[in-house]
A and B are shown apart, each in its own frame.
Chain A
Amino acid sequence: MAGNNPTSSEYIQHHLQNMTFGLHPENGLGLAHSPQEAQEMGFWAIHLDTMGWSIGLGILFLWLFRMVAKTATTSVPSGMQNFVEMMVEFVDNSVRETFHGKSKLIAPLSLTIFCWIFLMNLMDLVPVDFLPMLAQKIGAWFGADPAHVYFKVVPTTDVNATLGMSLSVFALIIFYSIREKGFSGFVAELTLHPFNASNPFVQALLIPVNFLLEAVTLLAKPVSLALRLFGNLYAGELIFILIAMVGLWQLPLHFAWATFHILIITLQAFIFMMLTIVYLSMATEKH
């Protein structure tokens, strides 16, 4: 366990704190030494662990796929190419089934989302103490207090990561809506549905109501997208942490939960991808 015999709540809190780098009002530029300090750094701070792992895993994904793409042959595929082609075809089929417009972006976007989220979620299966303790040892080597070295391995348990992706998707939704329907069409979609009347006066009264409803619908998309992934993985991670505290019994428990978690990991990556495709196809289709 981390530190010098911390209590259960301290242990859990320690595990749920990101390694935050930012400008502290009193301590200046540096790593946050406690959750409170991280809080005080405000918006202009960055989670080094989340960024590092997510970028690393993203590069791993792209490196693997790029390697195959460079040597892709039309003859009988083997090994890695088989796997990559299977993934590409799976994503391509999903996109074809759902997205009927023409876009060069959607399919690679979906592939990136699926593989990247899958890899980030997969970090959840690494035993919860393993990498943080390694980080503490390294931190201690550099002269830091191990109890204050925070290290959260799974990027998708950081709401910043999931929200970062879902907001990018949100931007794409708006971009596609405006591109397909024009700005006026987009505004009309927000204000003339679901209620409309033939009487212009009544219609004018209905516009604010429509706008409120549609705005909620629109904004719920990125928020639900981000929070669904975050919530699932955060809860999963929390259960791993709790399991890690029960002593010897953690071994069978950990195995059982990890087995079940494989399903969640894949499913959440798939859901994020599918919903992105669905939202974008809704954005491009005219009502």
Chain B
Amino acid sequence: MNLNLTLIGQAIAFAVFVWFCMKFVWPPVMQALQERQKKIADGLDAASRATRDLELAEEQAAEQLKESKEQAAEIIEQAHKRANQMIEEARDNARLEGERMIESARGEIEQETQRAKEELRAQVATLAIQGAERILDSSIDEAKHRELVDKLAAEL
């Protein structure tokens, strides 16, 4: 174990290595580490912000959903009302129409009856004359008595 120049040589080598490490190794590695640390911190920040945003958006969506559901319910309600109204109207219309038709049918029947009466009257006159002709056998002048029978028929 002899101390010699190696001691000084080692000290110098050591100093040079430390200097090199301090100048060219430590700062870049440390910088990269710190930058990454910052990046990760930023990323985590962004993630938490995004989570908050998402929560907000979900809340908004829920609100909107609720609103639109209410609106839909309202619309359906209105539609129901309108439908009921329309049914009611249709029912009324139908009733009126029915009444009208019944009325017109009644009129027609009346007319028909009138006509039948008219016809009957005409025929009754003829029949009565024919009957009378047979009974009286040509004693009666058709032209003479026609008027009389017609008058009679009109009274019918």
Which residues of A are interface residues toward B (Cβ below 8 A)? 18, 20, 22, 38-39, 41-47, 50-51, 54-55, 58, 61-62, 65-66, 68-70, 72-75, 77, 84-85, 88-89, 92, 104-105, 107-109, 111-112, 116, 155, 158-161, 163-165, 167-168
A66 touches B13 (CB 8 A): no
Distance to closest chain A CB from B17 (angstroms): 5
User: For this complex, into which size category does the number of interface residues on chain B fall?
Assistant: 20 to 34
B2 CB contacts on chain A under 8 angstroms: 20, 38-39, 45
- The reply on B11 being an interface residue by CB < 8 A is yes
For residue B15, CB closer than 8 A to chain A, the reply is yes
Residue numbers in B under 8 Å from A44 (CB-CB): 4-5
Q: Are the C-beta atoms of A72 and B6 separated by less than 8 Å?
A: no
Q: Which residue of B lies closest to A39 (CB)?
A: B2
Instruction: Check A66 against B4 for contact (C-beta < 8 Å).
Output: no
- For A84, A88, A92, A164, the residue with the greatest tally of chain B CB atoms inside 10 Å of its CB is A164
Shortest C-beta distance, A93 to chain B (Å), equals 11
Is chain A's binding surface mostly helix, strand, loop or mixed? helix
B3, B13, B29, B31: which contacts A84 (Cβ < 8 A)? B29
Beta-carbon contact of B32 and A43 below 8 Å:
no
**Which single residue of chain B is at the shortest CB-CB distance from A169?**
B14
Quote the shortest CB–CB distance from A193 to chain B (angstroms): 29
Q: Mark B55-79, 1 if CB is under 8 A from A, else 0.
A: 0000000000000000000000000
- Which of A20, A70, A72 has the most C-beta atoms of chain B within 10 angstroms of its own C-beta? A72
- What residues of A have a CB within 8 angstroms of the CB of B139 in the complex? none
Which residues of the other chain, A, contact B24 by a CB distance below 8 angstroms? Answer: 62, 66, 69
Q: Which of B1-22 contact A (CB under 8 A)?
A: 1-11, 13-15, 17-18, 20-22
The contact sample of 13 A-B pairs, CB cut-off 8 A, is: A50-B6, A54-B13, A66-B24, A69-B32, A72-B29, A92-B30, A107-B30, A111-B21, A112-B21, A116-B14, A160-B6, A163-B7, A164-B14
Contacts of B22 in A (CB 8 A): 104-105, 108-109
Q: Which of B91-122 contact A (CB under 8 A)?
A: none
Interface-facing stretch out of B33-41, B80-88, B128-136, B148-156: B33-41
> Given A22-B4, A112-B18, A112-B21, is A164 in contact with B9 using a C-beta cutoff of 8 Å?
yes
B20 nearest CB neighbor, chain A only: A62
- Chain A nearest CB from B28 CB (Å) reads 4
In the complex the two chains form, what is the Cα distance from A145 to B25 in whole Å?
43
Cα distance, A89 to B36, chains bound together (Å): 13
**Residues of A with C-beta under 8 A to B15:** 168
A46-B5, A47-B4, A69-B26 provided; 17 other pairs, C-beta below 8 A?
A22-B4, A45-B2, A45-B5, A50-B6, A51-B13, A58-B17, A65-B29, A66-B24, A69-B28, A72-B29, A92-B30, A105-B18, A109-B21, A112-B17, A159-B3, A167-B7, A168-B18
Q: Is the Cβ of B32 less than 8 Å from the Cβ of A73?
A: yes
Looking at the complex, which one of B20, B27, B29 makes contact with A68 (CB distance below 8 Å)? B29
**Residues of A contacting B4 in the complex (Cβ-Cβ under 8 angstroms):** 20, 22, 41-47, 160
Query: Smallest Cβ distance from A160 to chain B, in angstroms?
Result: 4
Residues of A within 8 A of B6 (CB): 18, 45-47, 50-51, 158, 160-161, 164
B33 near A111: Cβ-Cβ < 8 Å: no
Contacts of B21 in A (CB 8 A): 62, 65, 108-109, 111-112
When C-beta atoms are compared, the residue in chain B nearest to A18 turns out to be: B6
By a CB distance below 8 angstroms, the chain B residues around A65 are 21, 25, 29
- CB distance B25 to A108 under 8 Å? yes
Query: In whole angstroms, what is the CA distance A51 to B28 when docked?
Result: 29
**Residues in B whose Cβ lies below 8 Å from that of A66:** 20, 24-25
Across the A-B interface, give the 5 residue pairs with the lowest CB-CB distance, nearest first: A164-B10, A72-B32, A160-B6, A108-B22, A108-B26
Q: In the complex, A83→B82 CA distance in Å?
A: 78
Cβ-closest chain B residue relative to A91: B26
Q: Is the CB of B28 within 8 A of A58?
A: no
Beta-carbon contact of A108 and B13 below 8 Å:
no
